[in-house]
């Protein structure tokens, strides 16, 4: 027939979620300094996809499940060493390195969106974490505003102290959120390099496979 046989590996949820996160993370990262509704709702969407992907990792099809691609550190290190030397086994689903990267990215995305929500709760007193962060700057400002006229100079002094405490808490969440976002971006860059390198080593277009969901069925060789 002249065509290479292929099998379905990545289901629609995995593929759609993967590319949606690519677009949403880019949008959130670019709008990070200015914030706004794009940054906010991109973060919410990423968080929703991550939660869905974790659930799918237990109930989804074979290659979407964590048990198919979560390996121990020895197995991962062995695979990476063999990949560099050109002797790594080809996996139909995620390789040990690819599976590790997938888990790391899910963890980092979850942490990044969680700290972003915490920052938003503190700054604006809104979002899903607002009930857990009652001492937000927004709440402090409202409280100070209500009592400032009656308290006079004491009210101004108290407002300054509370504002300083609130600002300190806000900057802590903001700083952690920024660090996590940059670390996630670094992981994404490493992921892209790994995908291109593994695809070349195994003579396979892994980027196209994440669009079509199809890959060659047979392993390319033995060993880890």
> Which tens digit of pLDDT belongs to each residue from 152-172?
443 444 444 344 444 554 557
Q: Using the predicted structure, report yes or no on whether residue 104 has a pLDDT greater than 90.
A: yes
Band (141; pLDDT cuts 50, 70, 90): low
* pLDDT of 129: 87
Domain count, the chain: 1
Among 120, 105, 127, residue whose Cα is nearest residue 184:
105
Query: Is position 223 within any domain?
Result: no
Q: Indicate whether 62 belongs to any domain.
A: yes
Query: What's residue 131's pLDDT?
Result: 87
Q: Where are the beta strands (DSSP E) in the chain?
A: 7-8, 214-215
Q: Do the domain assignments include residue 224?
A: no
Is 221 inside any structural domain?
Answer: no
d(C-alpha 54, C-alpha 48), whole Å: 10
pLDDT range class, residue 140, cuts 50, 70, 90: low
Range of the domain at 52: 7-215
Task: Kindly report the pTM of this predicted structure.
Answer: 0.81
Say if CB 94 and CB 68 are below 8 A apart: yes
Q: State residue 181's pLDDT score.
A: 97
Query: What pLDDT, on a 0 to 100 scale, did the predictor assign at position 171?
Result: 57
Residue with tokens 């979850």: 110
Question: Quick one: angle between helices 12-30 and 36-59, nearest 10?
Answer: 150
pLDDT averaged over every residue in the chain: 84
Q: Is the pLDDT of residue 198 over 60?
A: yes
pLDDT digits (tens, 9 = 90+) for 66-91: 999 999 999 999 999 999 998 999 99
Phi, psi of 144 (to 5 degrees): -65, -40
Report yes or no on 42 lying in a domain: yes
Helix, strand or coil, per DSSP, at residue 8 = strand
3-state helix, strand, coil in the chain (%, to 5): 75, 0, 25
Examine the pLDDT at 133 and tell me if it is beyond 80. Answer: no
Residue 174 neighbours by CB distance under 10 Å: 16
Q: Of 124, 214, 126, whose CA–CA distance to 166 is shortest?
A: 124
Sign of CA dihedral 192, 90, 77, 63: positive
> Residue 90 domain-assigned?
yes
- Give, in degrees to the nearest 5, the angle at Cα 14 between 40 and 94: 120
Residues 118 and 112: their CA atoms lie apart, in Å, by 10
Arithmetic mean of pLDDT, 162-187: 77
**What is the mean pLDDT of the segment spanning 213-223?**
71
- CA dist 140 and 122 (Å) reads 10
| 122 band by pLDDT with thresholds 50, 70 and 90 | confident
């Amino acid at each position: 027939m002249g065509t290479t046989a292929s099998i379905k590996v990545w289901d629609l949820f995995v593929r759609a979620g993967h590319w949606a996160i690519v677009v949403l993370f880019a949008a959130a990262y670019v709008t990070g300094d200015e914030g706004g509704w794009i940054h906010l709702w991109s973060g919410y969407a990423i968080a929703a996809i991550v939660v869905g992907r974790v659930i799918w990792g237990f109930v989804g099809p074979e290659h979407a499940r964590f048990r198919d691609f979560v390996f121990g550190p020895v197995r991962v290190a062995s695979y990476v060493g063999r990949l560099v030397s050109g002797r790594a086994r080809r996996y139909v689903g995620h390789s040990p390195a690819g599976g590790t990267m997938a888990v790391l990215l899910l963890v980092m995305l979850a942490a990044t969106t969680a700290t972003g929500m915490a920052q938003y709760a503190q700054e604006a007193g809104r979002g899903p974490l607002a009930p857990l962060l009652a001492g937000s700057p927004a709440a402090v400002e409202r409280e100070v505003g209500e009592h400032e006229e009656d308290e006079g100079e004491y009210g101004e002094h108290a407002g300054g102290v509370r504002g300083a405490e609130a600002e300190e808490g806000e900057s802590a969440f903001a700083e952690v959120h920024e660090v996590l976002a940059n670390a996630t971006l670094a992981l994404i860059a490493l992921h892209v390099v790994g995908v291109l390198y593994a695809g070349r080593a195994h003579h396979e277009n892994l980027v196209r496979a994440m669009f079509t969901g199809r890959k060659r069925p047979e392993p390319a060789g033995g060993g880890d």
